[in-house]
Structure 1
Amino acid sequence: MTAEIAAAAADTALDAPGTTAALPGRGRLVLRRFLARRSAVAGLAVVALMFVLAFAGPHLTPWGYSGIDYTALREPPSGAHWFGTNRIGQDVFAQTVRGLQKSLLIGFLVGCLSTALAAAAGACAGYFGGWTDRCLMFLVDLLLVFPGFLVIAIVAPRLRAAGWLALAALLALFAWMVTARVVRSMTRSLGEREFVRAARYMGVHPVRIILRHILPNVASFLIIDATLAVGGAVMSETALSYFGFGVQPPDVSLGTLIADGTSAAVTYPWMFFFAAGLLVVFVLAVNLIGDGLRDALDPTSGKGRP
């Protein structure tokens, strides 16, 4: 998370009175500004098409991702095997769409979980203060000290029975701390605003104040963070799977496909470049969406104005 994005989202939150961030009029303005960014719209279209490919692709080929064609070993792309076959005769297209599906599911689940954790912890720490703040920030500092990649690499293989959901939960567990600190700072500033103080003096329950007044005013930052967290989660999952600590056989992900095809990238490029290309395209598309959301949600940005 860059300082520029955090500052832009903070300005958006602090400039919005009450629950202005949730008003339909502002939503239409944000949508118009987002649609004015062609690169962001292109990124959104690419992500949508990749979802269609991931979930419709397995139904377009007669081959399953674990099926073997013993008559076609390391065959180049053809009418029978669109992306060719690997060293044991498995259809690369079927494996690629299966791996894309798994990586997308993990990425979006991690993005949602980590952002939800960051929003809850940061808002509670900033609003309640005192021991709540100290305990939550101690937990944040403790998790920041741990080498997340190494911990996940050690723990994930031992949770193989739980499947990819355990991997997603572990990735989310180590992906929310920095965002929580930003949300805490924004919440402390919002806590001094008139509409929050008025709600507190009227006896509104703290949880209701957080849900109705605090979180809607940091929603701009959270949306951007969730978008960028998806790309980061897919990259983390790919790295873990590449080294054998992520998605476990017989299932596949983009990381496992890239790892299997690395040694044959020059001699049999279709075994490597389809999975690697989809990974690069997805991460770039997500970053374009994040940039578009930042400009659309930032009232001080001159870009994307209708």
Structure 2
Amino acid sequence: MAINMPGVGPDADEIRPEKADAQQLRAAGSRGKRLSPTRLYARRFARNKPALGGLVLFLLLVLFAVFGRFLTHWNYEEADFTALTVSPGTGDHLLGTNAAGNDVYSQLVHGLGRSLVIAVSVSLFTTAIAALFGTTAAYLGGKAERAMLGFVHFLLILPSFLIIALVGTHYQGDWKILVVVLTVFGWMLTARVIWSLATSLREREYVTAARFMGVGPLRTILRHLVPNIGSLLIVTFTLGVASTVQSETALSFIGFGVKQPDVSLGAMLADGQTTLSTAPWLFYLPAIAVVLLTVAMALIGDGLRDALDPTSQSGGRA
């Protein structure tokens, strides 16, 4: 007489499939290679659907800013005096024109590209300065640390908005000067956060061993402290792009940022606010671009934070 026992025999997979799945996963793990940290983070990020959507949206915006000018023969500075403030789809102006006869499509392409260049440059520079300053202050400690933190606190209490506005007005909206002043007054809070994190890293064994072996401070900072806060720096850079876009847009909107003949999204918003009732596309088109860019970077930043955080389950298990 045949006796069927649970988990044994031909019907075992139907009775206990989870056991077979677990055995298969263990067998696959034993046969496969160990995932590198980069692949692990990439898998966790790819399983975060909103973050993946934000990345796709950001890439589409970048492609539009880079290659969009090839879809029109109009230059962003060129004026068509036979078509002033025409609506989208009129003639050969895909998105219409403004009051000066400039093609809105070509201005939107150039303005998005200019805003991206400013945002990425400022975020990159501020993150690098904050990383070096914060880790150096934490590594040195003592009087040097107090002096460096005092300098940061002094910069934080300065009316940075007024200084940026005055400098931007003096140099007539040159975007390179805008990058410099936004960088000078944009790294302090990040440096304060990095310093607080690096104070725990300076007591680690590898930092102590480097000191005893005579490794120089700069090499210790660059080889041991900065790489161990790499995840924070990546997230900070990503979210910094979104915040810089908002800052540049606000400055240009009130007349202290990019000015003619150059164009940015903020400058287009400033020009479009005066014709909001008669030509609403001049305001809403750059506004949509700003919203899409900000949302894309926010989603990417949240996705990177969850992917790089080993305690987060938002990206699933890789």
Decide: shared fold, TM above 0.5: yes
Residue 231 (structure 1) aligned with residue 249 (structure 2): no
> Which deviations, in whole Å up to 9, do the C-alpha atoms of 1:114-166 show, x marking residues without a partner?
001100110100000123212211111011001211110011222348x2111
> Which deviations, in whole Å up to 9, do the C-alpha atoms of 1:163-196 show, x marking residues without a partner?
2111011111111111111111111100111111
1:111 — aligned with what? 123
Question: Residues 24 and 116 of structure 1: is their aligned pair in 2 closer, same or farther, counting only changes over 3 Å?
Answer: farther
Residue 177 (structure 1) aligned with residue 188 (structure 2): yes
1:273 — aligned with what? 284
Higher mean C-alpha deviation, range 281-290 or range 192-201? 192-201
Q: Which letter maps to 1:81?
A: H
> Which deviations, in whole Å up to 9, do the C-alpha atoms of 1:224-283 show, x marking residues without a partner?
111111111111011111111111211110001001001222321211111010000100
2:64 — aligned with what? 53
- What is the RMSD computed on CA atoms of the aligned residues? 1.4
TM-score where L is the length of structure 2 = 0.86
Q: Which letter maps to 1:203?
A: G
What CA distance in whole angstroms lies between the structure 2 residues aligned with 1:31 and 1:100?
Answer: 28
What CA distance in whole angstroms lies between the structure 1 residues aligned with 2:257 and 2:115?
Answer: 10
What CA distance in whole angstroms lies between the structure 2 residues aligned with 1:139 and 1:257?
Answer: 37
1:132 — aligned with what? 144
What CA distance in whole angstroms lies between the structure 2 residues aligned with 1:123 and 1:24?
Answer: 29
Decide which of 41, 51, 65 is 1:40's aligned counterpart: 51
Q: Contact conserved, 1:63 with 1:91, CA < 8 A, in 2?
A: yes
Decide which of 123, 129, 132 is 1:120's aligned counterpart: 132
Give percent identity, aligned residues only.
47
Residue 168 (structure 1) aligned with residue 179 (structure 2): yes
Query: Which segments of 5 or more consecutive residues in structure 1 lack a partner in the other structure?
Result: 1-22
What CA distance in whole angstroms lies between the structure 2 residues aligned with 1:31 and 1:201?
Answer: 37
Q: Cα offset for 1:218?
A: 0.6
What CA distance in whole angstroms lies between the structure 1 residues aligned with 2:200 and 2:242?
Answer: 29
1:11 — aligned with what? none
Residue 65 (structure 1) aligned with residue 81 (structure 2): no
What CA distance in whole angstroms lies between the structure 2 residues aligned with 1:57 and 1:28?
Answer: 33
What CA distance in whole angstroms lies between the structure 1 residues aligned with 2:58 and 2:160?
Answer: 27
- Mark the structure with the bigger radius of gyration: 2
Q: Which letter maps to 1:86?
A: N
List structure 1 runs of 4+ shifted beyond 6 angstroms. Answer: none
Residue 254 (structure 1) aligned with residue 273 (structure 2): no
2:154 — aligned with what? 142
Residue 206 (structure 1) aligned with residue 191 (structure 2): no
1:9 — aligned with what? none
1:300 — aligned with what? 311
Secondary structure class of the residue paired with 2:226: helix
Q: Cα offset for 1:24?
A: 7.8
What CA distance in whole angstroms lies between the structure 2 residues aligned with 1:185 and 1:199?
Answer: 21
Higher relative contact order (CA 8 A, sep 6+): 1
What CA distance in whole angstroms lies between the structure 2 residues aligned with 1:151 and 1:288?
Answer: 31
1:10 — aligned with what? none
Query: Which segments of 5 or more consecutive residues in structure 2 lack a partner in the other structure?
Result: 1-33
